[in-house]
Amino acid sequence: MLSMEMYPSLTLGPQRIGDCFYRDRQAPAHMPLFPPACDVAAKALPQRLLPPPPVPNHDPSTKTPKDEVKMELENASLWKQFSSVGTEMIITKKGRRMFPGLRLKLSGLNPSLRYILLLDIIPADNSRYRFQGGGWQAVGGAEARLPDRVFIHPDSPATGAHWQSRTISFHYAKLTNNTLDSQGHIILHSLHRYQPRVHVIEARDVLRWGGGQHSFVFPETQFLTVTAYQNNKITELKISANPFAKGFREDGMNSKKQRDARQKRKISVLTETLDIVNCDPCDSTMTTSTDLQALALASLPPLPDPSCGFRPEGASYQDTLVPEQPLDLGQAFMASQMSDIDISMDDGMQGTPSEVANHMIERSDTMGEPVYTSTFPAIQNNSSSFPPAPLPQSSSFSSLSAPDSSDPSNPQSMDYPSILSSSPTLSSSTTTTTPSLQQTSFTFPTPPPSNSSSPQPLLSSSSTPSANHYHTIPEPIGPHTPTDASFPAPSPTCQSGLQDQMSVHSLLTQPGQPLLGESMTCGNNAPSDQSSEAFIYPNILSANPDPVPVTAQPLHNYNSPAPSLPCSLHAHVAPPSFAFSSVPSHMQNRSFPKMSSSYAHHALHLPNLSHQGQASTFPPSSFTHPSSSFPHPHHPFQPSSCLAVSSSFQQSVSSVPSMPPTAHPQNLPNPSTSSYPSVEIGAIPQFNPAAPYRPEMVLHHPSLLPQLDPSLPSNLPSSTPPPALYPAFPSYPLRLCQDPHSSLSIPFRHLYRQHQHGHAHPQGPYLDMSTRAVF
């Protein structure tokens, strides 16, 4: 079985044990905006629920390449734009794709070995949210976690060369709120916050588990699930960025203007009909018709005398009913946003849209970076990092896009116009040199010429200029990084109910003010009242106040002294009643909602796997997420950086004694401060190399064997890995389970690409989830 430790802060219950890590007695305690760590219930889990310690990988040769596996979020800029506003993902019963989609670049894989790529989505916290006053507020405990499902990339298993030669897209993955979903979509609760994760698993590990598993988290990809968009900014962003929503753009036939025109035409037709009816002296409904007519007319431009069904000629409905109108507020906002979005519009964009796009490009060239940087206070030299709450950028998504005009993204390289796949300017933004920028001195990668998963080989990531690679973050971001930062709980003042209406400028400045001046006061002051929990969804970018030194120590340096970790694992055993002295009571109360066994069975059912008996069961322990997974909560969040720790890393740090339980209360984050002292990873048992991690047995199916070339040297060092992108982060245990219904002889690829009902999927190799059980 595949065992991965998860990113603690991102999970509920047992998986979130690590949440309590970001506290350090020596450093000002920072209160997580959403005290996930406070999942006392999780802490209370008996040790026996923790996943077995990883089996140490004693094979140095294999270790090297694995350790250097890096993942890069290609469309990080787009994600950041969304996250700065508060990414929302529609979920429907039938399943809805994610937009933006995850577009990734992998490097550091052994070109000869086969890997399986998995996507799963885990709760970012244990709260339920509501959109109020222009922001998201936690309004209670999360619903019981549903069995986790994993989306297996259709290309899996594929060689490292395959994965590294192209953009990897998970846009086929669908989200659903149908708990009875049988299509294999990822089941999520509405109005909850989630964090996608990507796992890279060596296929050979299915046969002989012992390493080769890497999990990656991009905090900017956190999102809230909704059944209908709550924040119109998100809607506007989606419309502007998603080709499928092109029709809703201002120039589209489904734009509000056009829709209004259509509606008016309908009303007009109705009116005419009514007029005709009204002309009938025998019509007893005259009064009603008149009312309707009046109603209809009220919304119409002056029309010629409609009496008796007279239809004026010469005046087309279009002309009559759709007079030119100045941009309404929404349109104006849209335009302003558009100008800030580095969208690679289709060539099809014409007229106004093209102009808008051009404008966007131009503006992004000139303003993108500066604006971006300007929003970051030169703060946080304290490794604090994680931020703060509503970072300036959080609301200033418009400024995030920093496309490089000189490096126009290849339209083909994007499934969707990737707004920022190419935002090299960020790296160059040394001028404004805000700490965060410096930290992110790297540039955003330019999208590869070809599309994701396209069969044709693309330039390997290595071909991408190193400048476009994200530097490895020295340490994983703290648990609060994704969770807290993304949903900063602004102070009441920060939480203006008028966020929707805030101008771009206000968006840029308002949220950041607290951050700048007060550090986390805005988000962490944790007012006792619930409004304090309101936040401007993620400010991921803002979360990166600290520049990442190029010399940052890669996470995968397992052997080196553990990076500091602010937390200890003793949290596991903390009593459920544990209270955080510095945490507002309401937060304490809701931090431990529903701690049920339902929390996550991260079990992956891989069809054709034998050993059903083993696979079929998922003891709670199998998905228990030791706090260990929390590599480094204090590390400043890096935009688009991925938190990742290879399994071997997990192993290396798994046995370090945990800090005394008593430390938690003492080390609770100080609401008023944002700095989280770093803690030695070694302090975390899970990160103690001495503690062997016993990976769960990997179930495999004979059908997979042929694809896995045993003869391949498992230890082949990969070709020179490109500059570190994202270090792997530890993930929770993930199990590959056998699908009893699947054919044993069908290789993964075939399963995933099997056509449903005999038709080819019109939009590419769709993963036929129905053929596999993914739970």
For DNA, the binding residues (CB under 7 A) are 90, 92-97, 99, 130-132, 172, 174, 177-178, 190-191, 226-230, 232, 235, 238-239, 242-248, 252-254, 256, 258-259, 262, 346, 348, 415-416, 756, 759-764, 766
Nearest to 488 by CA among 518, 466, 521: 521
For the CB of residue 96, give the shortest distance to DNA in the complex, in Å.
5
Q: What number of other Cβ atoms are within 10 A of residue 266's Cβ?
A: 12
Rounded to 5 degrees, what angle do the CA atoms 441, 443, 447 make? 165
Which of 142, 5, 121 is closest to 595 using CA atoms?
142
Instruction: Choose between 53 and 593: whose C-beta lies nearer to DNA.
Output: 593
Of 231 and 382, the one with the shorter C-beta distance to DNA is 231
**Residue 78 CB, nearest approach to DNA (Å):** 13
Lookup: tokens for 184: 């294999």
Q: For DNA, which is the closer residue by CB, 143 or 475?
A: 143
Quote the least distance from Cβ 468 to DNA, whole Å.
Answer: 23
Q: Least distance from C-beta 299 to DNA, angstroms?
A: 10
Closer residue to DNA (CB): 206 or 414: 414
CB of 248 to DNA, least distance (A): 5
- Assess whether the previous peptide bond of 304 is cis (omega < 30° from 0): no
What is the smallest separation between the CB atom of 90 and DNA, expressed in angstroms?
Answer: 5
d(CA 130, CA 134): 10
Burial class (CB in 10 A: 0-12, 13-18, 19+), 94: exposed
Cis peptide before 100 (omega within 30 of 0): yes
CB of 771 to DNA, least distance (A): 15
Consecutive H or E run containing 114: strand 114-132
Per DSSP, the residues of 610-639 read S-HHHHH---GGGG---GGG---TBBPP-T
Nearest to 626 by CA among 603, 656, 589, 596: 656
Q: Are 735 and 604 in contact (CB under 8 A)?
A: yes
Among residues 166 and 480, whose Cβ is nearest to DNA?
A: 166
Least distance in Å: CB of 92 to DNA?
6
Provide, rounded to whole angstroms, the least separation between the CB of residue 98 and DNA: 7
Between 4 and 187, whose beta carbon lies closer to DNA?
187
- Residue among 113 and 489 whose Cβ is closer to DNA: 489
- Rounded least distance, CB 643 to DNA, Å: 26
Q: How far is the CB of 356 from DNA (least distance, A)?
A: 14
670 within 8 A of 33, measured Cβ to Cβ: no
Least separation, in Å, of the C-beta of 408 and DNA? 17
Residue number, 27 or 241, with CB nearest to DNA:
241
Looking at the Cβ atoms of 177 and 373, the one nearer to DNA is: 177
Which residues have C-beta within 8 Å of that of residue 314, sequence separation ≥ 6? Answer: none
Q: Which is nearer to DNA, 280 or 355 (CB)?
A: 355
Q: How far is the CB of 540 from DNA (least distance, A)?
A: 20
Nearest-approach distance from CB 234 to DNA, in angstroms = 8
Closest CA to 363 of 430, 427, 425, 448: 425
Closer to DNA by Cβ: residue 296 or 569: 296
Is 93 or 694 the residue whose CB approaches DNA more closely? 93
Burial of 342 (0-12, 13-18, 19+ CB in 10 A): buried
Q: Closer CB to DNA, residue 130 or residue 750?
A: 130
Rounded Cα gap, residues 511 and 521, in angstroms? 11
* CB of residue 129 to DNA, shortest distance in Å: 8
- Taking the C-alpha atoms of residue 666 and residue 23, their distance in angstroms, rounded to an integer, is 8
Q: Is 372 exposed, middle or buried (0-12, 13-18, 19+ CB in 10 A)?
A: buried
Distance CA 611, CA 603 (A): 14
d(CA 735, CA 366): 48
Distance in Å, CB of 137 to DNA, minimum: 9
- Count of CA atoms in the C-beta half-sphere (13 A) of 66: 33
Our CB check for DNA shows the closer of 172 and 748 to be 172
Nearer to DNA, 183 or 672 (CB): 183
H helix and E strand count, the chain:
26, 17
Bridge partners (DSSP) of residue 123 are 194
SS3 of residue 107 by DSSP:
strand
Are 683 and 658 within 8 A, CB to CB? yes
**What is the residue-wise DSSP string for 375-444?**
TS-S---STT-S--SS-HHHH-HHHH----TTSPPPGGG-SS--TTS--THHHHTTTT--HHHHHT-S-P
CA distances (Å), 271 to each of 92, 283, 305, 311, 576, in order?
36, 15, 11, 11, 65
Q: Cβ of residue 500: shortest distance to DNA, in angstroms?
A: 13
Which CB sits closer to DNA, 330 or 665?
330
Cα separation, 306 vs 290, whole angstroms? 12
Least gap, CB of 225 to DNA (angstroms): 8
Question: Which residue's CB is nearer to DNA, number 151 or number 416?
Answer: 416
Give helix 232-241 / helix 76-85 axis angle, nearest 10°: 160
Closer residue to DNA (CB): 68 or 342: 342
Residues 6+ apart with CB under 8 A from 324: none
Residue 326's contacts (CB-CB under 8 Å, 6 or more residues apart) are none
User: What residues contact 273, with CB distance under 8 A and at least 6 apart?
Assistant: 309
